[in-house]
Amino acid sequence: MNLAAIFDRHPADSVAVISRGRTTTYGELGALVARLRGGLTAQGLVPGDRVAIVCGNNTYFVASYLALIGAGLIAVPLNPISPPVELVSELTAVSARGVIVGPTARAMFEALDRELIPSVEVVVGCGFLPDGGLGFDDLAQAEPLPIVERDDDDVAVLIFTSGTAGSPKAAKLTHGNLRANIAQVLSVPENAQSSDDVTFAVLPMFHIFGLNVVLGVSFATGSRLLLVERFDPISAIEAIDKHGVTVLTGPPTMWSALASMPDLPADSFASIRLAVSGAARLGEETARVLQSRFGLTLREGYGLTEASPVVTTSNGTDAPIGSVGIPLPGLEVRLVDDAGDDVLVGDPGEVWVRGPNVFAGYWNDEAATAAVVDADGWLHTGDVGTVDDNGYLYLVDRRKDLIIVSGFNVYPAEVEEVLMTHPAIDACAVVGVPHPYTGEAVKAYVVNAPGLSIEEDEVVAFCAERLARYKCPDKVWFVDEVPVGMGGKVLRRAFR
């Protein structure tokens, strides 16, 4: 069954999306998506082809995503503010045949050397006409095309993630994976949504939480999405009040910003019935402030891209602040020691997950897939947790070396690889350091090459041309040497 089919069954006059001040009903959206399916097919794209969506949270993204998966194509959501070098790398990695470029990404894409992405044959501009391409509105003039039937094992989406180790890879999420996780989330009564709900959609849709929890769950239940392309605390409070937002989901950075706003009335979140923090670990103090100031109970869960993404939820439980709750129905979770045995209550162990939501592997990378999914179907997350006597899960550590900046994964190896391409850098190490707003920040330790010198600002600027902003070092320290182990591997723990 095509995932798109579960989003295509709501009353035509019900509001689906509020974006850039404009309201779109499910009927209007469905008609637009059907024409886009026809337009994409008319361009020669066939089921299984990869098409990137380089777009912010707006109607362009939503319609494009639904049209792509509905046509049997594989959607590849990408960060619209990525630098050209990163975008080229990702498009090349999946051999994308098409790209849908949103307004935010226009300048970046137009600066890109198209000869570097020879696989791309179809370019669609949202609100503009790209060279050698066509406009979104032109694509939407085609004859409507019905939803294409797909099997549960067919890939629907490729989401770039650093995985449980190494540099970014494209995780294969099937129609069955995504649909299963939506059903698992909704099987918890306290997570249920309806057509009466209004969801504040600020989590980026190129992030799996934004894509399948915010968009997927909301559209599966006929809720309306208030699409937000850039978070601003004051504007958010105004929008919550104006639109009667009932479901507020966001990363810890959003909740921290809201909790620290002075002079907010105690009833600022009176319309909210479900508040969820995701994408990164939530500071306990933030949750307590929101509860004491506004009476808002903030729920936290645990997930990862490879699980489509939700694994546990504290909603509907008495889990204390600091716990990520219990596994969703239909999921198996184990805590395992180094010998592969289940740990005792209270002892730390690696979180293993098994269920229909576990991904189908990394695109064109069987070795990386085999390293994280064993022969019995268990996903080895690399995250370490404990469980208490009541069965509540607590995360006590994360995948080795992983840095999480505002909910986005940053692996030191990727940043180090970029740094080492600079001729004035002889060696380097990258670690995460605590940051009051983003949770963590990237810090680089750099050794100058003999006879050469480089300044901190130059290092940061060099990275900004090659990496997304959240991956760039916030601070650079110059050192005489970077310690390495017997095998030559950088000993990052020496800098923590």
Q: Dump pLDDT digits (tens) for 286-312.
A: 999 999 999 999 999 999 999 999 999
C-beta of residue 136 within 8 angstroms of C-beta of residue 102: no
Q: Where are the alpha helices (DSSP H) in 118-170?
A: 136-139
Share of the chain above pLDDT 90, in %: 83
| pLDDT tens, residue by residue, 26-58 | 999 999 999 999 999 999 999 999 999 999 999
pLDDT at 407: 85
Model confidence pLDDT, tens digit, residues 65-115? 999 999 999 999 999 999 999 999 999 999 999 999 999 999 999 999 999
Average pLDDT, the chain: 93
In this structure, is the dihedral angle defined by the CA atoms of residues 251, 252, 254 and 258, taken in order, positive or negative?
positive
Q: What is the mean pLDDT of residues 452-473?
A: 95
Mean pLDDT confidence for 345-356: 94
* C-alpha to C-alpha distance for 328 and 190, rounded to whole angstroms: 12
SS3 32: helix
Alpha helical stretches, state H, 206-346: 208, 217-221, 233-243, 252-259, 284-294
| Residue written as token pair 């723990």 | 493
Residue whose pair of structure tokens reads 């969820």 in the numeric block? 276
Instruction: With a cut of 80, say whether residue 164 has pLDDT above it.
Output: no
Does the pLDDT of residue 488 top 60, yes or no? no
Could you give the percent of the chain with pLDDT greater than 70?
A: 97
Say if residue 162's pLDDT is above 90.
no
Say yes or no to pLDDT of 280 above 90. Answer: no
pLDDT surpasses 80 at 185: yes
Q: Pick from 364, 401, 370, 399: which is nearest to 170 by CA? A: 364
Residue 486 in this model has a pLDDT that exceeds 70: no
Structural domains of the chain sorted by starting position, each given as residue range(s) with its CATH number in brackets? 3-150 (3.40.50.980), 189-397 (3.40.50.12780), 403-495 (3.30.300.30)
